[in-house]
Amino acid sequence: MIEFLIGFLCFLCAGMGLGGGALLVPLLVNFFDFPQGSAQYVGLIAYIPASVCAVIYGFKNKDLQYAKILPLIPLGLLGAFLGAFFAMKIQGEQLRKLYGFFMIFFGAYMLFSAARGKKEGQK
């Protein structure tokens, strides 16, 4: 049952643009004793259905800007493959520290960009 709840929660987060993988990886590592690299592989694979659903939704509502998204598709695939490749090559403890650093860095970036957006909206 806990597996279903974790999957559902991560799917909801991904659907809302909150980064379901950011929640999925720590949960897999801490609750299911996954190695860091394997948890990150699962996180990368979990993005595929969420991405397909987002594209279908955007296509259905005619919200897609093809000139902007078409160049991003091969770059996104390349980034996923390179990330998986490097995740296999890096030791577990180093990978855990890198993942933690990026989570803190991007969390801070999101907080500061949201605060900046509110200030710009008040002007």
Query: Where exactly are the structural domains of the chain?
Result: 2-90
Query: Residues 6-47: pLDDT tens digits?
Result: 777 766 766 666 666 677 788 888 888 888 778 877 877 777
Decide if pLDDT at 119 tops 80. no
Query: Smallest Cα–Cα separation from 104: which of 20, 22, 32, 43?
Result: 22
Please tell me the distance from the alpha carbon of residue 39 to that of residue 26, in angstroms, as a whole number. Answer: 8
Q: How far apart are CA 80 and CA 91, in angstroms?
A: 18
Helix (H), strand (E) at residue 123? none
Query: What is the tens place of the pLDDT at every residue in 52-95?
Result: 888 888 889 888 888 888 888 899 889 878 877 877 787 778 87
Write the pLDDT tens digit of every residue in 96-118. 788 788 888 988 888 888 777 66
